[in-house]
Structure 1
Amino acid sequence: MSDRTAVIMLACAMTVLVAVLVGGAAGYLARRDHATYSTAVTRAALAFAATLTLAATVTSALANTFS
């Protein structure tokens, strides 16, 4: 495995980890706001998806800028 591949895999893992943490925090805050479990899971899933979408958009913009 080359160094470039290792860095790309590490960046992907870190992005997914951050998205999971954001989703968990959103679900926790929803439950603290007395939301039902299904509403809290929905908010967590939306936050997770939004974080991954934002990361993909920023990555694409940076890739187009530097190439």
Structure 2
Amino acid sequence: MSLSSTHLMLLALLLAVVVLAAALVGVAAGVLARIDGASYAAAVLRGGAAFAGSVALSLALLTFVLSA
């Protein structure tokens, strides 16, 4: 199965959207953790975990949708 350049560009744009959305989720989680009284280190860890979880879930969903 060969992918045309249009499909590759679409995949690259979807990947960029996934990363940007996950970054927003991670920042929001870190800020909310800090407001809740967590230390800076704990807030960064929570933000990183939220980012990783968002990326994993988004890529799994994207893979499922594109393979169907």
TM-score by length of 1: 0.88
Superposition pairs of residues 1-67 of structure 1, within 5 angstroms: 2-64=5-67, 66=68
The total of aligned residue pairs comes to: 65
TM-score by length of 2: 0.86
Gaps of 5+ in 2: none
> Percent of aligned pairs with the same residue?
38
Gaps of 5+ in 1: none
Give the distance between the partners of 1:31 and 1:24, measured in 2 at CA: 10
